[in-house]
Structure formats: C-alpha cells, structure tokens
Structure 1
Amino acid sequence: MTKKRVILSTDPGIDDIAATTFLLFDPQVDLRMIVATWGNVSLKYTLQNALKLETFLHTKVPVVVGANQPLVRPAISAASVHGETGIAGYEFPKEDTSLIKKGLAATLMHEEIQNSPEKVTLMGIGPLTDFALLFKQYPEDLEKIEEIVIMGGNIGHGNHSPFAEYNIAGDPEAAQIVLQSGLPTKIAPLEIGNKAHITASELDKIKACGEVGNMLYSLFSNIHEPDGDTRIKIYDPTAVGILLQPEFFNLKPAHIEIELAGRYTYGASVMDFLSDNPNTEVATDVDTHKFAEWFIEEIKQADQGRK
C-alpha cells in the first residue's frame, strides 16, 4: 500500500489534538511535517501543544513554526472554548523542542513538496495562512500537490459569527487564495462536525482506550461550546475521515467564494452547489455510526502505536 504523504497545518486546540494523533499513527499516512499556526489560541501555545503531543505520543515528525497572525486582519481567539493554552484538561509532559525544524514554513513546505517522490496532500485544520503564503511564494508547487483537505466553512450559519465558521473567519483572505488555487479540494464544513458528535457512551469507550484514550477523554470533557451545547462536537477529525474514509461521507461539488467585504458577512463561505464551475467537494452528510466506530478504532491504534 502506498501511503499518503501529508503536510498538516494545525492550531491545537482540542479537536486538532485528536486529528493529529490519527495522522501520526494511521498506516495509510506518512505524515511529513506538522506546521503549527496561530488559530484557536496564539502561536506560542499552538506550537507548544504540537510539541507536547508528540512528546506524549513518542513520535518524531518535524514541527515547523507557522504564521503568528492572519494575512490582513487582527487575530481572533477561541480560548473560551479550548482554554487559555488550547489544551485545558490534561497535563502533558514538557515539550521536546528538538522536534522543531528551523526555517520559514512556506520554504520548508516547498522543499518537502519538491523533494517528494510522489505528490503531497495538504491538510488544513486551522486558519489557512501558511498554505496561502506557500501558494503565493512557490506557485510551481501546485503541480506537485495531490489535493487539499480542509476543515472549515459552513453551509448555513457559522460558529464565529452568524455567517462565518471559525477557521475561515480567522483568515478569510488566505482561505480565498487557497480555494482559488485550482487544486482538487475537499471540505469538511461546520455542519459535519456538528453531526459527527461524540455521545456519552462513546466518550466512555474513548476513556477505556489506554493512555491515548484517557488523554482525549480528559480534553473532550473540558470543551466549553459557546452555545452551551453539551454534546462533544468533532470538527477537525472529520477532515481526516474524508481523507482516509471518504465512503462515510456524502461529498457534493460546489463553487465556494469567501466573502471579504461584507459588513456583517465577512468570512462567510458562499457555497454554490448549482455552479457549473465547482472548485471543491463539500461533505454534506456523514454516517455517524461508522464515523464513531472508526474514531474509536483510531484511538486504539494510536495507543498501541505509542507503546
């Protein structure tokens, strides 16, 4: 089996921790690089969190220091949801800073893409600032990228503002650059994360999955949704699911533009499912039972791989 060579851009963040863990241990994936970007919390913490996760998991994938702010607007924060550091609820070991690969994120991604014997898949589960900088600085890399898989955007109402989902709202200009790249793109929007939630019984099963399960149980138990919803919504791992288990999802072609000028709709993902010129495939539904079973199996696999 040929593994998918993946570069991950992430802003851990509780659900990012789960998605990253799956990519580190799934046998279908060769995770080449973790680019820590600002997003759920500041870069200071997202970088620490990526390093702490790998230290805990005993993995050695290079971690790259990504963007510390959006391209144009001031940074936003989701610390109220994820805690001040982004990973409230679990005491990780001190981070191993030797995992940091020095250099500019765009340049390091460019070198990885150009040196790869096969096309590389990009996965973005935070603001897309670093991928936008890569495409602007190194447009020649586009022909060596297989596809982009994104957790972001919303079909209906948003979770950052009435019309904007958090990851896209974080850097709408970057998202527009990525969506206009011409690359095959798959999107797990907000609604899929809302649907692919974890029930109380599934949370108990996660807790029983060894040290990795206990870590994720502790983190998930400390999520505080701004709408007061007590369900554990699983956003970023849905992008991993689309990459590895696309048969769990209904994917529909759509043309997406990001609203950059609206007073009340800035950052909105305008999705046209009737367009003759689609630039993405958007997940519109998910088999929640199969997804939950896969989710728990990924945790078991990671726990075994960590030892």
Structure 2
Amino acid sequence: MDPGIDDAVALAIALTEPKFAVKLVTTVAGNVSVDKTTLNALKLVEFFDRLDVPVARGAAQPLKKDFVDASYIHGASGMPGYEFPPVKLKADPRDAITAIYQTLAAAVEPLTIVATGAYTNIAQLLLDHPDIKSKIKQLVLMGGSLSGGNVSSVAEFNVFTDPEAAKIVYESGLPIVMIGLDVTLKALVSWKTLDRLATLGEAGKMLHGLITYYKDEYDGGKPLHDVNTIFYLLHPEAIKTKEYPIYVCTEGPAQGATVADFQDRWSNGKKNAVVGLDIDAAAFNQWLLEKVKQMAVK
C-alpha cells in the first residue's frame, strides 16, 4: 500500500476487523514517496495499537518508468488532516520482498494479498521467488478500469504508476480480483456519511480529518478507492463481478490501461481476473459507518 488517504481508511478497517488476521503491511512509492508511505503506515499501526503487525518498507520507484507521486491529491505528507503523535514504532528491518516471502512461506495455508498501491513489490516477489505462488490464495487488487482512467483517458493511477509490474502480475497465473474505477467511482462516500464519521470517536475524528482534506472529489461525494478491496473481502455479494482476460498496456498513449478482451480476439477463452463492475453504494456507506463505529482506540 501507499498511504495515502484512502489507503489509510482501508488499513484502519483491516487492522480493526475481527474476521481478518493481518500478517504484514508493506509499503511502496505511489501517492507519496516510500519514506512517507512507510511513516504513514507506522502511524496507523501505532494509532490502533496493532504493534503485532510488522510494517516493511518496499520499492522506492517503479520497475522501469520514472516515479511521479499524487501529492496533489493526498497532500505533501500523504495523510494531512489529523495530528498524529510522534511515531515510536520502527519499520521491520526486512525489505518488503523478503518480508512478504517469509510471511507466505511460514503460513500454514495460502494467504490473500491485498494491494492498494502500485504492484511493484508483488511483481518483484514473483520475479525473485516464483516458487512462492502456491502460498498465495488470491490477489485482491485496487486498480485498473474498463471505462476510462483518472490519470489519463484510459489509465487508473496504481496501474499507471508501474505498468510493467501490473503486466507481470496479470500474467502470473494467480487468482486475481480487480477492483477498479468501475466500482470505486460508484461507491462515493456521501457528504452525509462524512459528517457522521466526525461523531464516531477518536478513530472517526481521525478518518474524518483525513478524508476532508482528500482532494479526490466528485458531485455527490468522495471515492475511497482502496477501501473497496476490504469491502469486497467481507461482502462480495455487494459487488457485481465478471471474469475477463485482462491485458496491461505498458507504453504509448494507452500506458497503464487495463484492457478486457471482450470479443476473445487474443485470449482464446482464457480469463485471468474477476473484475468488479458495479457496487451497492448505499450498503458501502452504511458498512463504512458501522466499521468505524466499532473501532476501539486505546
């Protein structure tokens, strides 16, 4: 992940959800630099007193292209809008690739990897340790779009940031769930929901502060893109999906595009991703409020 405001909300819910056993948080350059995303992840782990969850620093730049952040959306720090105390927790001494590999290797059963930033760490893991695929249950990816982009006419930010990494991931043969803009731009957090968050304890106050600063805004509310991955894991019935063969463009004006071969011109019937197409936005808003209401901060 690359916290980032919407990543922060996703991590807050993941860390406080009883149905999840979060084994590891890794960071990557994206919304802001990897130094800042790592610090922000540590802030949240400490805020929710989840000191049992290690945070490992990942890739500082994409595999090939130059790194360009989204601080114009998330602010210079990546998480403005709330005054966190100075962080005492240190990042895990392992790099993200080693940490992910060792966590997967030690797992009794295959684990789900949720990616809410560029996929650089995952791609490098697959390049360095192809033997670990059997320990990955599925990849739930925030990113991509079949209906147009948010950083170009066709590309979504996470895929555009490192399209080469996305291409490696989509060609890996691993089970993939793609939760992209086709879902996240329909699941706007309404202004009413945002106002309610401010009344839901210290966690609600913190998240309200972050989201209020968030510059990604549409008529009717704000899209918390990354949170939809967590919602999908808990309530897959609320998101309409369909299997497609997804191809990633890595160069030219379509760089970062995720193309579904609707007409089966290239894929010979092979599909590599379950793609989110629609969402129950009202259920998403209600669920978000319920999750934040249940958050306990010591």
Same fold (TM over 0.5): yes
CA distance in 2, matches of 1:141, 1:69: 23
How far off is 1:101 after superposition?
1.2
The answer to whether structure 1 residue 238 and structure 2 residue 250 are counterparts is no
For structure 1, the 5+ residue unaligned runs are 1-9
**SS of residue matched to 1:23:** helix
**Contact in 2 for aligned 1:253/1:273 (Cα 8 Å):** no
TM-score with structure 1 length normalisation? 0.92
The answer to whether structure 1 residue 293 and structure 2 residue 283 are counterparts is no
CA distance in 1, matches of 2:42, 2:220: 29
**Contact in 2 for aligned 1:250/1:284 (Cα 8 Å):** yes
Once structures 1 and 2 are overlaid, which stretch shifts more, 52-61 or 150-159? 52-61
Q: 1:82 aligns with which of 56, 74, 87?
A: 74
The answer to whether structure 1 residue 26 and structure 2 residue 17 are counterparts is yes
Superposed, which structure 2 residues align to 1:116-265 within 5 Å?
116-225=107-216, 231-261=221-251, 263-265=252-254
**Contact in 1 for aligned 2:82/2:210 (Cα 8 Å):** yes
Superposed, which structure 2 residues align to 1:79-118 within 5 Å?
79-98=71-90, 100-118=91-109
Residue aligning to 1:7: none
Query: Which amino acid is the alignment partner of residue 257 of structure 2?
Result: A
CA distance in 2, matches of 1:170, 1:206: 31
Q: Which runs of 4+ in 1 moved over 4 A?
A: 227-230
**SS of residue matched to 2:274:** strand
- For residues 136-193 of structure 1, what are the alpha-carbon distances to aligned partners after superposition, in whole Å with 9 as ceiling and x for unaligned? 1111110111000000001111011111100000000001111111111101111211
Query: Which amino acid is the alignment partner of residue 18 of structure 1?
Result: V
Give the superposed CA RMSD: 1.3
CA distance in 1, matches of 2:33, 2:247: 27
Residue aligning to 1:14: 5
**SS of residue matched to 1:67:** coil
Q: 1:269 aligns with which of 251, 258, 271?
A: 258
Q: 1:37 aligns with which of 24, 28, 34?
A: 28
Residue aligning to 1:3: none
User: How many pairs were matched up?
Assistant: 293
How far off is 1:230 after superposition?
6.7
CA distance in 2, matches of 1:249, 1:228: 21
- For residues 188-212 of structure 1, what are the alpha-carbon distances to aligned partners after superposition, in whole Å with 9 as ceiling and x for unaligned? 1112111111111111221111111
**Contact in 1 for aligned 2:166/2:248 (Cα 8 Å):** yes
Once structures 1 and 2 are overlaid, which stretch shifts more, 266-275 or 150-159? 266-275
**Contact in 2 for aligned 1:82/1:88 (Cα 8 Å):** yes
- For residues 92-118 of structure 1, what are the alpha-carbon distances to aligned partners after superposition, in whole Å with 9 as ceiling and x for unaligned? 1112233x2112211221111111111
TM-score with structure 2 length normalisation? 0.95
CA distance in 1, matches of 2:99, 2:79: 27
Once structures 1 and 2 are overlaid, which stretch shifts more, 127-136 or 155-164? 155-164
**Contact in 1 for aligned 2:191/2:220 (Cα 8 Å):** no
Query: Which amino acid is the alignment partner of residue 67 of structure 2?
Result: A
For structure 2, the 5+ residue unaligned runs are none
Once structures 1 and 2 are overlaid, which stretch shifts more, 121-130 or 239-248? 239-248
The answer to whether structure 1 residue 49 and structure 2 residue 22 are counterparts is no
- For residues 231-277 of structure 1, what are the alpha-carbon distances to aligned partners after superposition, in whole Å with 9 as ceiling and x for unaligned? 2112000011111210110010011111013x211111112245421
**SS of residue matched to 1:149:** strand
Query: Which amino acid is the alignment partner of residue 65 of structure 2?
Result: R
CA distance in 2, matches of 1:17, 1:283: 22
